[in-house]
Amino acid sequence: MPELPEVETVRRGLQRAIIGKKITAIQVRETRLRVPVNPRRLQRWLAGQRVAAVDRRAKYVLCRLQNDAHLVIHLGMSGRLLWCSQKLALDKHDHIRFLLPGGEELRFRDPRRFGLVDAVAPGKLAAYAHFQHLGIEPFSEQFAAEPLFQQAYNSVRPIKNHLMDASKIVGVGNIYANEALFRANIHPQKNTGKLTLDDWRRLAATVRETLELAIANGGTTLNDFYNSDGEMGYFQQHLKVYGREGEACEVCGTIIKRIVQVGRSSYFCPKCQKRR
């Protein structure tokens, strides 16, 4: 599943390509996504409008139009945005096409159909239902030691579970949670409420560093993530613990271990990340 770095990579690629372009037509070939597509709403608010900005909230790509309406896209499990020629042969999973001048188009492809494509009327984005329970953005001013400590000081669940809870912190998926905890020397099973302010200072810094490194490398291609240009990400070359069970820790040489937390694999170094 694309996480924050992958979505931010897509956003940046899309921003370079689509700003100032007019959506001349919209073709909806399949409405049965996770949230059913509403073709009339797309046509009403997006058709004939130029794209003014491309932003991101959590794992949603937001294209703001000149009329202040927004195109909202979530890639789900396997969604892709393709910037391509209108002459490119259609794939059976190409569900929505945004046609642009000069024979170009933005194409939404989603084999598993867990994605979302929607239009939000001008002035309604803050009240959009899918945004109401989203947590702190890792690159926002709120993502700092004191607010994070106050948010979690009485929590009894493991810190890795807390990091991956989108109602608390958005965009930190399993891979990045593992990597950030390793860099902060924090055990994934440590009780969240036991983290000190110093722990949160380290963790806030390593979460940002990990995400920034992933963005700089185009994300993590372990399954089927591609950016808007169809290129794969290369952050997997920088992984320190994720997927490295049985290998030596690059810092101390201790063998990396794997456990399962809430159905997800956690990787850690028993020496660098002691469970205190």
Active site residues: 2-3, 59, 264
d(CA 162, CA 34): 25
d(CA 239, CA 160): 17
Contacts with 190 (C-beta within 8 Å, 6 or more apart), sequence order:
158, 159, 275, 276
d(CA 72, CA 80): 14
CA angle 268, 272, 276 (to 5 degrees): 90
Cα-trace Rg, the chain: 20
| Cβ atoms 182, 241 nearer than 8 A | yes
